[in-house]
Structure 1
Amino acid sequence: MQMKKIKVFRNRIVWLLVALVWCSVEGKAQDKIEAGVGMDLVSGYVWRGQDLGGISVQPEVSLSYKGLSLTGWGTVGFDKNDTKEFDLTLGYEAKGFSVSVTDYWVSGEPGYFHYGAHNTSHTFEAQVGYDFGVLAVNWFTNFAGYVGYKVDGNRAYASYFSVSVPFTLGGLDWSVEAGATPWENDFYTGGENSSYSKEMINGFAVCEVSVKASKEIKITKHWSLPLFAKAICNPSTEGFYFVAGVSF
């Protein structure tokens, strides 16, 4: 158990070293490191068909260099009972191809620096995907931390795949997305705050079918306010949600 903690801590140090290396490279060459910071205000936090909270503030900060990126993202609900979350993602994108590793952390017991397989609030997920332009496909698998479990107690390595199709209609940017979990697990079960949830997904289950519309409202000559609205159905939990948000 202690060895696992050391390995995970070492991986975090590596991520920080990557960021420092990027800064060093920028000082030695003319290549540009891009940085970004932003925040979303959303009417509800729904993730892959799971209801995870109400009105929430979701800040984000990122560094990117030649396709590599390091992103920190979080969410805090207005309701004090809503779960707080902080995610770190190290990713790479090139010509439509993308791959990433994300450390998801949610508040509660145990604390942040607990990394045991059965004593952690972290989930480590690997992603691989490709954006063809007319549609994008992505696959996600939990590989460490809380990976999801089967009814017999064995690790499920809960996975999720999605297909999304963007298009323009009536002056708005639209996206239709469908996502599913392919095998038995207790990870994609509706979320703690959902009005309906199952104890276990017994096999293949569609977790999200959604339609999203977005538009940028021009405020000044140099600044626009991005708005979006999204209707989400989770057939596996019989959940339906309608959320809206604004980005700053």
Structure 2
Amino acid sequence: MFTNEASAQSETGSKLKANLSADLVSSYVWRGIKQAAGASAQPAVSASLNGFTLGVWGSVDVTSNDHKEVDFYASYTSNNIIFTATDYWWDGEDALHYFSSPTDGNVGHSFETALAYTLPQSFPLSVSWNTFLFGKANKKANGDNSFSTYIEFNYPFAIKEVGFRIGTGFTPWASTIYGTDKFSFTSVHLGASKEIKITESFSVPIFANVIVNPVHEDINFVFGITLR
């Protein structure tokens, strides 16, 4: 995600950074699974200090009330390793019970922990492990926790002025959130991004992603622009 960044230097030398951005996408596809029927607006705000980041990300379907999402997260970065904890809220418009615990099976909070690592710049392959610990969407039919897990690999590269990213993601076991009953690939994707120069001092980042979901036999081609 492209961001607009501001920073402030404290008396102790620590540097506080703040980021603000918004994506406009033709459709919202998350880990190979389409989340909203139409185009979506996706704002993001975060603040970082000494490796710690607090942020919020959201998505709303601009063509209907089909989807509304607000996710708060906290992360820590050190030596190419990122640990993240995220509270997802997926219940959308008119749910009207946001202030409830993610351990309550009647509400839509889902809590996930994630660990990501990127290899050195000479071969910048990244891998992430993401596991849901709480949430009604994470429950099996018998009430047990499915610990829905998604593992993803990504590799970035560039051709002239276009940045590319190729990757894949899978569930290692049955998952209620991803709709799988065994080890399954839910995403095989190729993304491209570029900045379109409007004037000498202003440019607009654009991106496109082709996302194939093998287990659900689906494919999506997503286009987006970033405002920053």
CA contact (8 A) 2:167 2:190 kept: yes
Correspondence 1:207 to 2:186: yes
Residue from 12, 27, 30 that aligns with 1:47: 30
Post-superposition shift, 1:143?
1.0
Instruction: State the one-letter code of the partner of 1:87.
Output: D
Match of 2:203 in 1: 224
Post-superposition shift, 1:170?
4.4
Q: How does 1:30-179 map to 2 (within 5 A)?
A: 30-53=13-36, 54-106=38-90, 107=92, 109=95, 111-115=97-101, 116-132=103-119, 133=121, 134-146=124-136, 148-179=138-169
CA contact (8 A) 2:134 2:145 kept: no
Q: What is the aligned length?
A: 213
Match of 1:186 in 2: 176
Give, in whole Å, the separation in 2 of the partners of 1:88 and 1:140: 15
CA contact (8 A) 1:147 1:158 kept: no
Q: Which runs of 5+ in 1 are unaligned?
A: 1-24, 190-200
Give 1 or 2: higher strand fraction.
2
**TM-superposition CA deviations, 1:38-68 (whole Å, max 9, x none):** 1110000000011111201111111001111
Give 1 or 2: higher helix fraction.
1
Give, in whole Å, the separation in 2 of the partners of 1:139 and 1:164: 12
Post-superposition shift, 1:188?
0.4
More deviation in 25-34 or 167-176?
Answer: 25-34
Instruction: State the one-letter code of the partner of 1:206.
Output: F
Give, in whole Å, the separation in 2 of the partners of 1:64 and 1:147: 30
Give me the TM-score of the superposition, normalised by structure 1.
0.80
CA contact (8 A) 1:216 1:226 kept: yes
Give, in whole Å, the separation in 1 of the partners of 2:199 and 2:49: 30
**TM-superposition CA deviations, 1:108-158 (whole Å, max 9, x none):** 546201224311211110010101142000000001223613354421010
Q: Secondary structure at the match of 1:179?
A: strand
Instruction: State the one-letter code of the partner of 2:116.
Output: G
Q: Which runs of 5+ in 2 are unaligned?
A: 1-7
Post-superposition shift, 1:217?
1.3
Instruction: State the one-letter code of the partner of 2:215.
Output: S
Instruction: State the one-letter code of the partner of 1:165.
Output: Y
Give, in whole Å, the separation in 1 of the partners of 2:125 and 2:136: 30
Instruction: State the one-letter code of the partner of 1:126.
Output: T
Give, in whole Å, the separation in 2 of the partners of 1:172 and 1:86: 31
**TM-superposition CA deviations, 1:167-188 (whole Å, max 9, x none):** 1124310000100111112110
CA contact (8 A) 2:108 2:137 kept: no
Task: Give percent identity, aligned residues only.
Answer: 36
Post-superposition shift, 1:31?
2.0
Q: Secondary structure at the match of 1:33?
A: strand
Give, in whole Å, the separation in 1 of the partners of 2:201 and 2:56: 26
Q: Secondary structure at the match of 1:154?
A: coil
